[in-house]
Structure 1
Amino acid sequence: MKKTLRGVHAFVFALAVIAPLALSAGPWEPLFNGRDLSGWKQVNGTAPYTVVDGAIVGTTVPGSPNSFLATEKLYGDFILELEVMQDAPSNSGIQFRSECRASDGRVHGYQMEIDPTPRAWTGGIYDEARRGWFYTGSMNPAARDLYKLNQWNRVRIEAIGPSIRTWINGEPVAHVIDDMNARGFIALQIHSISKKKPEEAGRRVFWRNIRIQTTDLKPSPADSLFIRNTIVNNLAGAERAQGWKLLWDGRTTAGWRGAGKKAFPEKGWRIENGELVVQKSDGRESQNGGDIVTEAEYAAFEVALEFKLTKGANSGIKYYVTEKYVTKGSAIGLEFQLLDDANHPDAKLGAAGNRQLGSLYDLIPINRMPGSLGVKPRLGEWQHARIISRADGTVEHWLNGIKVVEYTRGSPLFMALVERSKYNKHEGFGLAKSGRILLQDHGDEVRFRSIKLREL
């Protein structure tokens, strides 16, 4: 006998305690009439979509690629609200500003993730079949428990200009600024299932009360979420409101000078196409143009930037650089290591991987990185680095939306790590109250852009 929503006892409780979205007065347009799939079409995959008790129901099937039920209309700026429920863990998502390309038959575009697995990245923003993750669930840990399996969950997506924001059950989850797609269809995804997990066949995702607003759009009030802005060297108004500033203007050397020098290096660095490039020389530390540092010093701060490595490249982002230590090589400071781990010998030196990409160089190795597209570092592609250093001494390294290092400056553990490292001869290493931000010249070509900072 075919099951319905009313026939699933686990859902009865959910229906009793989770009220449907109230279709309040305003310029809202329903995207689903509650009776049939008028206005929708399937654009990929073979997972079936049906209508049961006023909800669209998608069911996982073996042997199918990702399936999408898409709106026939295209949408640009909008506010979308709906409810979603799942009867068992299975990956899903809501596409928007998306397209289906004839060249490969795949759906490409922005997706709000639905992830009821222990990873719990629901509400994160993914670029389907293109660049991968923009905003992982790890970037907003407080939101990871918002989505409830076997219950109706309220979803809100605001796509206004390049700003994309998501909410789950009334709480903000992600904020991305990106301008690749300004218009496209909205689609409901049923993800493919692995041949190794046949038990995942037959799992269902339910959507209902789907409505959209496309005129008289009023963005929700600002929040404190980190904003992932992919527009090169751009500082959005929402970022300015949070205290962010461009640490590099994308055109000149203003605000920077050579480490230990009064001016910017005359060689070894160049500016092209909005990128700050350290040029390849002989692979030695600070022997060509040399390192560059900010003219200003910073105490508690958050810095974010994008970088691109060439094959075998070595570089670094240093912080709390004081230039008080006498050295023939690079200036001394705490370092977010930038390295092509697969092709540079330094990756195998040090201890337990503490000289690999993202590590606190020669002190702390990174946590394990997921292999997801947009998260796992890929040589020759732009990567996102973020360093948070608070007034209480706690420091975090983030790589492509994953926190990979966490420590406290001056703690007994930190002091013990310094004592056994190459920095043990530098008194007070890593303990300065303030210092400069440094980009390292290690003789390899590395590119930087979208360098931003806010003081905490």
Structure 2
Amino acid sequence: MKLRSLVPFVSGLVALAALSNAHAATWRPLFNGKDLSGWRVINGSAPYAVLDGAIVGTTVAGSPNSFLAHEETFGDFVLEFEVMQDVAPTNSGVQFRSISSPDVMDGRVHGYQCEIDPSARGWTGGIYDEARRGWLYPLSLNDRARTLYQYGRWNHFRIEAIGSSIRTWVNGVAVSHVIDDVTPSGLIALQVHSVRGPEEAGRRISWRNIRIQTSDLTPAPVEDLFIRNMIPNHLSDAEKAQGWSLLWDGRTTDGWRGAHRTDFPELGWKIENGELVVLESGGGEAKHGGDIVTAAPYSKFEFQVDFRLTPGANSGIKYFVTEEINPGGGSAFGLEYQLLDDAQHPDAKEGAAGNRTLASLYDLIPSRKITSGLGLQPRIGQWQHARLVVHADDVEHWLNGIRVVEYQRRSPALAAMIARSKYHDLRGFGLAEEGRILLQDHGNEVRFRSIKVRPLP
């Protein structure tokens, strides 16, 4: 093992001791170390056996994902276990608050999964919604955790599910934090993933020291990592502690006004079911409400929003918006995170090298395309997640938990791109010290919710 990979592992053991000893008297074993009493195989046909005090699952060709489920269901809990793979790496995971019912998907196991990923991607400890929404917390959101899992040795895992807060640790280091309330309780199950063919059969995943706490639970201190909150227009205490605030309350127009005006547009927008909606107008002036901007300007900040595009829709999120550039009205100018149905809107083929496609820095820098991953790939008609990270001049665009654009605002490279763009004659474009955040009315129906911001140092 390289020294630099050993350092976080050893420091994690110190944190692990503190976490595990906090409630040592309340732990209950879920596995007796001798046989599979209290467990049952559901779905696939991969075999599970007890060997040297561990549950060992083995991959088989021709089987879908297999699960060894505990006979009890659990709501709030802290779960700890150890995992090792030593006969070729293979994807796996541990289900929790999951469901297997003959009335739903023919009994297919679905729900939260703590990922075990020994591949080069290294997303072990990420949270995946098995057979449902896909990735809730990919480790692109916590890159430093990608090297924690060590193939060929025992690794310690911790899952904390208390109320709507779901968190994971690997070898004592915090990995994921999701806020979600879709499934408040369910089964715990050990996954043996399907394999591509006979050449991948016979690979083993071993679990041991499986124990749980279900009473007198005290959440661990909140770590400084990104929190993915899936509850619409909700701000958790952990997010508040990190400095996040809601930019929209889900009910009123407070905090927003029309661009180039002092009030909120009378037309073109509506509030419905906790969603801020741009109405379809086809660009017609009679129904066109125009863009809206935040009441306050921002300089160093992090911003996030859920958005849902209708087929063929065009919109955008602009930042560092300075209405003084075009005081006569019309569209307010600013750097733009493009919102677009790339497949159906013709603007995707305009510009250069795809720099007008979804999540691009509009007309300047194309976004990297997300080509795989349930919950990660863009999906028109479903909710997606946009995020901006702005450290003054260092800027990042994120889409569904994946960083797809990064650039420096005052760099010669960006200046050269601006000189070749539609903004070439706008003096000082994108260089303001601070500016407002804008949601664009481009005449197509687009829905927004969970609009949040926090200042950055």
The question of a shared fold, defined as TM-score above 0.5 by the shorter chain, is answered with yes
Rate the CA distance shift 1:75–1:286 in 2: closer, same or farther, 3 A. farther
Distance in structure 1 (CA, Å) of the matches to 2:91 and 2:371: 16
Distance in structure 2 (CA, Å) of the matches to 1:37 and 1:54: 11
Query: 1:179-190, aligned counterparts within 5 Å?
Result: 179-190=181-192
Query: 1:218-257, aligned counterparts within 5 Å?
Result: 218-257=218-257
Distance in structure 1 (CA, Å) of the matches to 2:377 and 2:184: 27
Displacement of 1:325: 1.8
Q: Which moved more, 1:271-280 or 1:102-111?
A: 102-111
Query: 1:404-415, aligned counterparts within 5 Å?
Result: 404-415=404-415
Rate the CA distance shift 1:286–1:337 in 2: closer, same or farther, 3 A. farther
Question: Does structure 1 residue 116 correspond to structure 2 residue 115?
Answer: no
Contact 1:286–1:442, Cα closer than 8 Å, also in 2: no
Partner of 1:160: 162
Partner of 1:41: 40
Kindly, what percent of the aligned residue pairs are identical? Answer: 67
Contact 2:58–2:203, Cα closer than 8 Å, also in 1: yes
* Paired AA for residue 184 in structure 2: A
1:251-286 CA deviation, whole Å, 9 max, x = no partner? Answer: 000000000001000000000000000000014799
Displacement of 1:330: 2.1
Distance in structure 1 (CA, Å) of the matches to 2:143 and 2:285: 38
Which of 132, 142, 145 in structure 1 is aligned with 2:134?
Answer: 132
Contact 1:304–1:384, Cα closer than 8 Å, also in 2: yes
Rate the CA distance shift 1:50–1:128 in 2: closer, same or farther, 3 A. same
Displacement of 1:370: 3.6
Partner of 1:3: none
Distance in structure 2 (CA, Å) of the matches to 1:415 and 1:142: 32
What are the ranges of 5 or more consecutive residues in structure 2 without an aligned counterpart?
Answer: 1-12
1:288-319 CA deviation, whole Å, 9 max, x = no partner? Answer: 10000001001100000100000100000000
What are the ranges of 5 or more consecutive residues in structure 1 without an aligned counterpart?
Answer: 1-17
**What secondary structure is seen at the aligned counterpart in 2 of 1:206?**
strand
Distance in structure 1 (CA, Å) of the matches to 2:426 and 2:285: 18
Distance in structure 2 (CA, Å) of the matches to 1:119 and 1:368: 17
Contact 1:286–1:440, Cα closer than 8 Å, also in 2: no
Displacement of 1:413: 1.0
Distance in structure 1 (CA, Å) of the matches to 2:40 and 2:365: 51
**What secondary structure is seen at the aligned counterpart in 2 of 1:73?**
strand
Q: CA RMSD in A?
A: 1.8
Contact 2:267–2:287, Cα closer than 8 Å, also in 1: no
Stretches of 4+ aligned residues off by more than 3 angstroms: 21-25, 283-287
Distance in structure 2 (CA, Å) of the matches to 1:377 and 1:329: 30
Partner of 1:5: none
Displacement of 1:324: 1.4
Distance in structure 1 (CA, Å) of the matches to 2:380 and 2:432: 34
Q: Give the structure-1-normalised TM-score.
A: 0.93
1:15-48 CA deviation, whole Å, 9 max, x = no partner? Answer: xxx99x9886310000111010011111110011
Contact 2:268–2:287, Cα closer than 8 Å, also in 1: no
1:318-353 CA deviation, whole Å, 9 max, x = no partner? Answer: 000011122764211011100000100001111111
* Paired AA for residue 352 in structure 1: A
1:429-449 CA deviation, whole Å, 9 max, x = no partner? Answer: 111110000000000000000
* Paired AA for residue 66 in structure 1: N
1:68-122 CA deviation, whole Å, 9 max, x = no partner? Answer: 0001000000000110011222110110001113142210110011111111111
Query: 1:134-149, aligned counterparts within 5 Å?
Result: 134-149=136-151
